[in-house]
Structure 1
Amino acid sequence: MPNHKPPFRADQVGSLLRSTALHEARDRKARGEIDAAALKTVEDAEIRKLIAKQEAVGLKGVTDGEYRRAYWHFDFLEELDGVDAIAADSGMNFKGGVTIPKALRITGKVGFSGHPMLEHFRFLRDNVQPGSTPKMTIPGPSMLHYRGGRKMINMGIYPEMDAFYADVGAAYNKAVHAFYDIGCRYLQLDDISFAYLCDPAQREMLRSRGDDPEHQPEIYAGMVREALKDKPADLAVTMHLCRGNFLSTFIASGGYEPIADLLFNSMPVDGYFMEWDNDRSGGFEPLRFLPKGKHVVLGLVTSKTGVLEDRDALLRRIEEASKYIALDQLCLSPQCGFASTEEGNTLAEDEQWAKLSMIVEVAKEVWG
């Protein structure tokens, strides 16, 4: 049962550990020793190497590792019309670490009139080998609201939140079609809010700031529906869900049961990358809501440690998941990226590649 369309039987979320050369170049740029053009030269060279490594281990979906980004989400969102990046009072609190203090403020009508990441995709597109599929990853539309909420949105610009949600969905729709127009046929929305909404503590956080955690998932799903309105038939769109990933730490916990039906049946998404590398993610029972024609990529291999999973244990877990949906609807990947931020998780590059290689091998054994 090989799968020739995304998501692939052996796949990846997208971000990869930054190379030493890239870290050094970014540090030199921050100190003013090199300019943006010199940094881009290093990025280009390191991304070409990264593409070759992904193809060498047998991955069909190939990314740029998010090598040009500091964050998986800020770098995209802050380039939308009407969005400004600002210094925050504090960073995001993970269970074991705190990010740099940064936030997004809505200072104008949200829109899409072009984006630097279009050029990032063109470079990826032009450097993969025939037979590889260049994959673009961007944060889902809910991420412009979930972190900051109403207080980060200018009341004079958006006195009513419905207008904000509509504009974000429309901006994303333009982005989706802009990537498609330059050859993107595999697009991923990293929309972790849906997994966060399975955690009672996160739901209470939303309630305390004035949002309704019972209604918010449907609002976010509506933004995704708007983003994917008139989606071209040959564009594969996946959604990645996780519970936080920064220096191998996390934020949320809880199984997918509260959002499974909405997740699988209310949005025109082709596949879902879902975190199942530990007990915090619950069991596979929510898979029973997945309709025919969609795929779930089982995130059974952790990106948070370098310890290589037991091959037989992975096979058993895939078999367990297949009790709820057909084996043909399943794929395999890490539970998250290896470097959601430029700092990366606490494992070595060779451990990262060993995990990706094993995923390819296990997928061949299971699906042929």
Structure 2
Amino acid sequence: MPHQPFLQGIQAYWDALGQPGQPPELGESRIDAFVDLLHVTSTAAHGFRLLETLESTYAAMAVGDSSQPWRLHWALQVGEVEPFVAADLEGLIFLADTIADPEGMHRVYTLKDGMRGDLEFADLTNALRWMTAQVQRAKGELDDAQLQDIQSEASALLDDDWEKGPTSALYIVEELLDTPLFEAWDAISRGQWPLVESDGTDASVDREDGWQRRLSLWLTRRFLATRSLELPEEIGVSDMDAVHRALVDHLIDFEQAIHAGDVPRIIDQSAAGDDPTLARLALEWIDRHDSWRTAASVPAPEEQDDFAEEPPPFQHTPFTRKLLQALSGSLDRMVEQGELELDPDRKEALLIELVTAGSDARSVKHMLKKLTSTLVDSEHVEEIYPTDDQIQDRLKEDLGG
């Protein structure tokens, strides 16, 4: 049963929204009660509401539809989080982990523009406290300073051992966003394949909480590295929940199409489906596929050259301006500390190169990797002495984590 502070948090949030009486009976577990609370108060002014994730994510990813955030919603589903938003906080997505940590707490993260946000909570009780204050601020009952005081007390920096590996929901989501499954579908339509290195690890087959999302991440990575799908002997598809079975089915279909050289079933179904956008993109996919099939077959992984799309033209946005400023300071500090040799006349060109690479990242972790590799390989750099890991740590610190 939910503990007393959590129940008090539910009541306080209910009252802040101006709801009459007592909250209705909610789910027995804290995460179920929290989700039920957001559902029954979804229409209240200034309230938070559950984010309804998109359906047909695999079909949209396969045909390359970029009109909606399919990749993000796929990662949220496989990552087993409950996303929620507030109209007063545009662009900010909250992620409540449905899996409890070792202390029995359900952590709450945020994403901003697809990247990890600064606002996080160690448990639902503290999240509710801040949400209540946010509602009160929106209604004019608290000022900015009071809200900031409560935020400082309720929020937490989540950087313990739980967050450093696949036990963490955010780790799973970020790593899924970092996988080029979306790009692999486009590549195979052209007779290509993105270069993905296997980490060489074996799948964890323990049945502890969260094992399915950890396994799904491992399967996705392994498939992209080997173009084959093989479940651990100890795991059957019937052991998995629907969202993870759907991923396995998707990868099986993909694998069969790759090795048979046929148009995948999901592409054929999309081409004949009711969604005009997906149908158009599926027909374009088939045209690309047919154009090379008569002349070549899909090469084996060891024969395949690296595949990369041309980056989009660089254009400034509020995010890139902020990134440019932070990177400029980071480069200056590296030069001052003797870690980087850089001609001052080439600094501006290097910054544009770095910002262009970073602005195309799918996650914070992906951005740090891209910034590091771009910095190391840039023709604008004369010498750089730290290791890649040291550079990533420096950039992470200078860019605010």
Q: Same fold (TM over 0.5)?
A: no
Q: For CA contacts below 8 A with separation 6 or more, give which structure has more relative contact order.
A: 1
Q: Which structure has the highest strand share of the two?
A: 1
TM-score after normalising by structure 2: 0.25
TM-score after normalising by structure 1: 0.26
Q: Which structure has the highest helix share of the two?
A: 2
- Bigger Rg, which one: 2
